[in-house]
A and B are shown apart, each in its own frame.
Chain A
Amino acid sequence: MARRRDFLVDSASCSGCKACQAACKDRHGVAVGILWRRVYEIAGGGWTRDGSGLVPQVFAYNLSIACNHCEEPICAEVCPTGAMRRREDGLVLVDAERCVGCRYCAWACPYGAPQYDETAGRMTKCTFCADLLDQGLPPACVAACPMRALDFGERGALEAERGLRPDAFPLPDPGLTSPGLALIPHRDARRAGPTTAGVANREEVIP
């Protein structure tokens, strides 16, 4: 059995260049309007004056998020046909034959991972490049990262060893679904919350 994997997102070093997003689209032929991997730009803060100087209290960071192949995938729980299933190796995948495109999974997932493909009339999402994993190769997004800020590793190890809980704003409470995601937070994540920050590039991440 393949080992279960987490994505490791080093938000502290992520520039938001979206090479991961483009690599994912290239490998999986994902159409415009569907983003198996997408990069959220979180920004907040404002400006004050100091004499005639301008002082920014501005902060920003990026979160590159795909599907976290959760331990407790709520998408699979709500799926009426059993199309969304968690395999034995931990990957959560859509069975195209059984999916009827009802979108319950998209509404349920707090990460926005399952996305509706209008042409196919069914849901699609990140597969963790399962075929590459099977051959001992990294997923396309990880191999793409120019900043080497995206990685993957054994499930739970990174979070357990290094305390890398994926709870930076605006990610949901990881207790909800036990996501396969370890996160090195950007320093500015401490300042971000629902009243202080927002997703600055909504149009780029929410098709």
Chain B
Amino acid sequence: MQSAPSRLTTEPAPGERIVRVGCPAHNCGGRCLLVARVRDGRIVSLGTDDRPGDTLADPQLRACPRGRAYLRRQYHPDRLLHPLRRAGPRGGGRFERITWDEALDLVAGEMRRVKERYGNSALFVPYGTGSYNQLNGSVVARRLMNLFGGCLGIYNSYSWAAINVATPYVYGTLETGNQRQDWLNSKYILMWGWNPAEMRDGTNSELFVRRARESGARTVCVDPRMSMTAVALADEWIPIRPGTDTAMMSAMAHVMLSEGLYDAGFVRTHCVGFDASQMPPGCEGEESYSDYVLGRRDGVPKTPDWAEPITAVPRATIARIAREYATTRPAVLYQGYGMQRRAYGEQVVRAGCVLAAITGNVGVHGGWASGLANQPDGGCAWYVFPTGENPVPASIPVFLWSEAVLRGKAMGPEDGVLGAGRLDNDIKLIYAVATNCLVNQHADINRSIGILRDESKVEFLVVQDQFLTSTARYADLVLPACTQFETWGVEDGWKYGEEVLLMPKLVEPPGEAKSDYRICAEIAERLGIGPEFTEGRDERGWVDWCLGHYRRTRFPDLPSLDEFEASNAGVYSRPVAEPAVAFEDFRRDPERHPLSTPSGKIEIFSKQLFDMGRPHEIPAVPKYVQEWESPFGPEARRFPLQVIGHHTLHRVHSTHDNNEWLEEAFPQRAFINPADAAARGIADGELVKVWNDRGATILRCRVTPRIMPGVVDIPEGAWWEPDEEGVDRGGCINVLTSHRWTPLAFGTAQHTAMAQVEKA
């Protein structure tokens, strides 16, 4: 571990303290290092990773503008300073200040009441990532609930629902990625709906792609928008109509089959279901992947000619990309996540995996199996802080919380309920920590607020956050939480990364704000489970506990907390000299190292999916399925434009929306193609109304050729600000999105939405 003097940082000024600290994590894909200067109890500057060297094996973890502009959030005048109790109707926006004692008594009393009246399964802690390190955010409320007898559980996420579920149907695991340094061994990188330069899918992913390109890899970006990645990292940009990626992938497979470009040897020895010769037992006569692609059963060969009118990608381009990807080996097909947050989002995940498999790019240096692509070296310790066992066995997919409010008792396996035949309760109490997923980030806001307004449904809603978010506006009680700079925390390298980042407490919280942990500990005290909750530890004590866990499971040389803190290094990193490759053993000897799929092989055809008996929504081989809102459906007559919402550097989801430096850098706009704008008489910079049957938002537009015709892009996460008529003025995409979920993963399909745009 390097000590401070060798750093690329000036000495602290008199009265100044320099502390290296992990950037507050809000579920962006980065985990970066900041160098904080603290003077008179206030952070005055945030530099970034100042370790000398910056090597490929151990690159600096340089923060993006969100980290560098953090002080505009940290010291925002709207920070919540005191507990607030609702005054007036729910959602009316009127609150009165109360004491912490009153607030905590209220929470504890309501938890007891709901538990006694309905049982623990009526309690709920929703998904949320507004504070997201091991000690901050919803994890502490989960520990509290579990010690209190449990609450209705959740599984999966808003981010990766379909990819989390679909990837293992092909590979039996989520650990399908090589370590990123291995991209330098690739000759071809197909970035499909993937935008690492903007969404930071792992700190430095964009840098590794750059280095791979400098090492000779050709790079292609498939995306409806000419993203930052398309501009800075791609040799070629191929715009594709949103929601049709599986059609292009199927057509690429057709080219590979008909021209003999696939890796027949690898398919024979490592895959099942590619053709009639390798169907799983009991499915011998069913439709194989080749049957689908060649159209043997449905009479529709999935040729580039077929795919062109669906995808808007010219047939010659589809064929060329198929040839390039199949013959320029080893190659990476990296799947982004936006296209799996769509109707039938499971299909594109499996289709991408199948392309990787049939081109033999699995288990080799420079290749890439696609799918979620967690790290093959035991990486990704998402949850280290011990939330404990949930005594309530039932859990629901995170996206279906509103269903569990409306009709929990009617929900069963057909709604993705796990751990119980049917739910025995509707949700009656919500303890929402660091989440804006009840209103702002959930689909169909006008529907969500209707549900939340009804006090007979959710009887008590407590929201714990740093600002009065649109979710907090619907709370019965608002608890002021401190930022991650105001308490202790620790985080690791997210999906990628070989690091542990320490987050020492830098400054005191403003007003009466407290840490998420402290608030829950004080509620635990009132519920008579204080000692069980804290085990005698404060926040720093739990950071110590977490470091011990990392040391035991992943980083044996991790220093003690005292050493780590005294070194002021901020980060412990393990350089990657020899990048690990997923599926190397399986590649070498598939019989001795089978996958954990039912067949032990790569399942191009899944008998498990076949047995579900829903071939149109959950086909056994990946298929293109026309979305339920589509330019090809009758809905397009009224709502002809597809709405997508990319991840902007203005925000991490809804966090930072009120950050003035980031608003200055990336103002919220509806991005629209000049042709679509001209057809509506809209000029660059004008106010436009984007609307459908679910709602409307009015915001300024940016007329730009960088978005393809037929698509309007409203970056997700802007704060919902309804006017008197209920029309959003904040540019919040979720007044337009649908709460219909994907068929297999029960995941969000928020990117599947049609709308109309007009001059406001």
Contact = CB atoms under 8 A, between A and B. Distances in A.
Given A16-B232, A17-B198, A22 B704 contact: no
Given A19-B65, A50-B314, A137-B10, A143 B308 contact: no
A161 to B, nearest CB: 18
B675 interface: yes
B10 A131 contact: yes
A203 B685 contact: yes
B620 to A, nearest CB: 30
B69 A26 contact: yes
A22 B10 contact: no
A137 B45 contact: no
Given A15-B232, A58-B226, A203-B667, A47 B661 contact: no
Given A15-B198, A204-B667, A137 B9 contact: yes
A201 to B, nearest CB: 8
B709 interface: yes
A137 B48 CA distance: 13
Contact of B228 (A16, A52, A55): A16
B207 interface: yes
Given A43-B704, A143-B8, A32 B206 contact: no
Interface in B671-698: 673-675, 685
A43 B210 contact: no
A171 to B, nearest CB: 18
A22 B197 contact: no
B68 A144 contact: yes
A77 B740 CA distance: 64
B228 A22 contact: no
A62 B685 contact: no
B62 interface: yes
Nearest to A138: B8
Interface string B168-198: 0000000000000000000000000000011
Interface string B225-255: 0101101110001010000000000000000
B62 A46 contact: no
Interface string A17-31: 111011101110000
A53 B309 CA distance: 6
Nearest to B211: A148
Given A32-B661, A50-B314, A58-B705, A144 B48 contact: yes
Contact of A13 (B210, B315, B705): B210
Contacts of A172: none
Contact of A60 (B661, B666, B706): B706
B675 A47 contact: yes
B317 interface: yes
A19 B69 CA distance: 9
Interface residues of B, number: 59
Contacts, number: 154
A50 B314 CA distance: 6
B664 A62 contact: no
Contacts of A2: none
Most buried by B among A33, A58, A131: A58
Contacts of A135: 10
Contacts of A61: 231
For A21, A143, A149, which residue has the most chain B Cβ atoms within 10 angstroms?
A143
B50 interface: yes
A14 interface: yes
A137 B50 CA distance: 10
A32 B309 CA distance: 46
B261 to A, nearest CB: 22
A140 B45 CA distance: 11
A5 B305 CA distance: 55
B321 interface: no
Interface string A162-202: 00000000000000000000000010000000000000110
Interface in A29-47: 32-33, 35, 43-47
A145 interface: yes
A32 B660 contact: yes
Given A46-B674, A53-B308, A62-B232, A17 B68 contact: no
A16 to B, nearest CB: 6
B705 A47 contact: yes
Contacts of A12: 232
B312 A53 contact: yes
The 9 closest A-B pairs by CB, nearest first: A53-B314, A22-B65, A22-B68, A15-B197, A15-B232, A52-B309, A15-B228, A50-B314, A58-B705
Interface of A: 12-19, 21-23, 25-27, 32-33, 35, 43-47, 50-56, 58, 60-62, 131-132, 135, 137-138, 140, 143-149, 186, 200-201, 203-204
Given A27-B47, A47-B708, A144-B63, 17 more contacts: A12-B232, A15-B206, A15-B233, A16-B228, A18-B65, A21-B65, A22-B65, A25-B68, A25-B661, A26-B47, A26-B68, A56-B708, A58-B237, A135-B10, A138-B8, A148-B54, A148-B210
